[in-house]
Amino acid sequence: MKSIILFGPPGAGKGTQAKLLESSLGIPHLSTGDMLRASIAAGTELGKKADGYIRSGGLVPDEVIVGMVAARISQSDCLRGFILDGFPRTVNQAQELDTMLKSIGRTIDAILNFDVNDDELKYRSAKRAQDALAAGQQPRSDDNPEVFAGRLKTYREQTLPVLEYYQKTQPVGVVQHIDGMLPIEQVSGQIKKLLA
């Protein structure tokens, strides 16, 4: 059983690494961003609520997110563990996750903090938008430069405190740091070593 959290700013490579880990560990990748985008595409009530927050670069309210994650981790494919990507993003979400895990007798095995500088993050967001256009797809509404700058601000103000929270409350060794500036294969090598 493994409960793993991939933590870090938008564009740090959490989604890419989560997908690789999903296939190597055989446990599901739970991305709250993907879940929200799927709800928006499906036109659900939850999607309608979330859309404006996402477009503005802000966070979707905790109660919406926490309910969505609680429903997802109670599904049977999560019994052997899961990889969280993009959650928790506030200290309140982290506390709610603690409560959820406690109620099912689980703990967090690893919190991997991806370190990437702001210039690289901005470059990756712009590249993702360009790649989408080149493939004839609509870029993500939050991958334009202005909104992305807002997402970085939101990360610093509301999400970084989650790292301090975990450093204070988790046993030594649970929070680990990843050099997210390296190429994908090297990042994935670092993660394998840390989880071994």
- Tokens found for residue 169: 């409350």
Locus of tokens 């095995």? 109
Q: Which residue stretch of 20-28, 58-66, 115-123, 175-183 sits at the interface with ligand AMP (rule: CB under 6 A)?
A: 58-66
Count Cβ atoms within 10 A of the Cβ of residue 1 and give its class: 0-12 exposed, 13-18 middle, 19 or more buried: exposed
- CB-wise, 74 or 189, nearer to ligand AMP? 74
Active site residue 140: yes
Q: Catalytic residue among 128, 153, 156, 192, which?
A: 128
Rounded distance, CA 168 to CA 106, Å?
19
Report the SS3 class of residue 111.
strand
- CB-wise, 3 or 32, nearer to ligand AMP? 32
Rounded distance, CA 153 to CA 125, Å?
15
Contact 116, 11 (CB under 8 A): yes
- Using CB under 6 A as the binding rule, the residues of this chain from 78 to 117 that contact ligand AMP are 86-87, 89, 93
Query: Binder to ligand AMP among 6, 36, 129, 162 (CB under 6 A)?
Result: 36
- Size of residue set near ligand AMP by CB under 6 A: 15
Active site residue 72: no
In the complex, minimum distance from the CB of residue 84 to ligand AMP, in angstroms, rounded to a whole number: 9
Active site residue 124: no
* Percent composition of the chain: helix, strand, coil (DSSP 3-state, to 5): 60, 15, 30
For position 29 contacting ligand AMP by CB under 6 A, the verdict is no
Q: Catalytic residue among 89, 102, 122, 124, which?
A: 89
Q: Quote the longest CA-to-CA distance of the chain.
A: 47
Active site residue 55: no
Active site residue 106: no
In the complex, minimum distance from the CB of residue 195 to ligand AMP, in angstroms, rounded to a whole number: 21
Task: Determine the distance from the C-alpha atom of residue 24 to the mean position of all C-alpha atoms in its chain, rounded to a whole number.
Answer: 18
Contact 116, 9 (CB under 8 A): yes
For position 32 contacting ligand AMP by CB under 6 A, the verdict is yes
- Residues marked active site are found at 14, 89, 128, 140, 151
Binding residues vs ligand AMP (CB under 6 A): 10, 32-33, 36, 53-54, 59-60, 65, 86-87, 89, 93, 142, 151
